[in-house]
Structure 1
């Protein structure tokens, strides 16, 4: 009967997540592809564990990090804030794109205070942190499936010593069979926008001969619908530039928004273009007087 109770208890522990404890007790029963790395820093032994080396977009990615004090003296360390105690920081980043995976919310989400909380790791004691990540990433504030490739998981433990802090790191790599769907780059979007007939016409009407002239040996530019006399230097500068303008660009809900604004030429002085960030299709073109 005692053996049955022990086995049930082990199953319950494996299925639980917390800041203090998450045990993967029977390493002999793990699949060969499981990850378990260790790193020693003097009397401190860091450990990083994951259940697999390869994940898909349907998997949750659980990372367990722990550190043990094998020395004879207690070690002070940073443990987040008083409202959000975290023994070790864990993050996952794509080695190809540099983007971070999204951490799965645990329970009620609340804002953490900005105070510094410290704790003591006593001799012979171990602290653990477990985080669950989703195979998703933020791109310009929007959530997307993770891109395929190699990812690096980092766990940090920050000790407090005389003269400052010391950061201890343990890291490992794994792969995600993610999406290869890529968003258009800023350069690609600008090229696409500048090829559109309406945009080409707008640029033409706000540059070149349309916005400058020489009359009776004097130099003029068309500034906000009216001709103004300028110096020869200013006139020559406009000869060398295709457009005196400001450009605004942002990605919002999968749509690139590009705006050109120019004080030169006739109205309209602003043109706005929306582009599908994945397909590259021009969705809309609007012009505005100012």
Structure 2
């Protein structure tokens, strides 16, 4: 019994040590999926209601990004009609489909993108719900079953005069099933 307990404690001790920058994923069957990682000085915390969805189920994504760099960065804040300091994309990689955010069926975004400061220790937040429909399809066609990539990103502007940008993102996957 003591040997078993020692093996378990050593295993948990080794698993608890993080030697790489792999994101931390926490989940149980009753809990939401949580992904957390620091990338390029930005701490990402992403929560999904689950990772496998049957037809008709909504996909909820909550995200927080905190600037832990110690310096202010300039980032894209969206357009006047669609302000989005944090962008969430749920796409089917092989086919390029994007899922539709609930309530945006008739939304038309202008292309007057702006930028603003993202100050040290500031946190940006978003809470969005997606439906299993294809964004930008004429009849809002149902999304095909399969694996989708969920990407949460902040777009940093490296040089305002040339509009040189770099996306800083965290990714995970979900599945749409019958």
Fold similarity call, TM over 0.5: yes
Q: Which has the larger share of strand?
A: 2
Q: Which has the larger share of helix?
A: 1
Residues 116 and 58 of structure 1, relative CA distance in 2, 3 Å threshold: closer
Partner residue of 2:91? 93
1:9-58 residue CA offsets vs partner (Å, 9 max, x unmatched):
xxxxxxxxxxxxxxxxxx999824x2211232232112221010111112
Structure 2 distance, partners of 1:158, 1:138, is 21
Task: After TM superposition, give the deviation of residue 139 of structure 1 in Å.
Answer: 8.9
1:88-115 residue CA offsets vs partner (Å, 9 max, x unmatched):
1111112454322222115x95533321
RMSD of aligned C-alpha atoms? Answer: 2.7
Report the TM-score, using the length of structure 2 for normalisation.
0.71
Counting matched residue pairs gives: 150
Residues 29 and 147 of structure 1, relative CA distance in 2, 3 Å threshold: closer
Task: After TM superposition, give the deviation of residue 128 of structure 1 in Å.
Answer: 1.2
Report the TM-score, using the length of structure 1 for normalisation.
0.46
Pairs within 5 Å for 1:1-290: 31-32=30-31, 34-95=32-93, 97-105=95-103, 110-137=107-134, 141-162=138-159, 164-178=164-178
Greater radius of gyration (CA): 1
* Range moving further from structure 2, 57-66 or 93-102: 93-102
Show structure 1 runs of 4+ deviating over 6 A: 27-30
Task: After TM superposition, give the deviation of residue 172 of structure 1 in Å.
Answer: 0.6
* Range moving further from structure 2, 39-48 or 51-60: 39-48
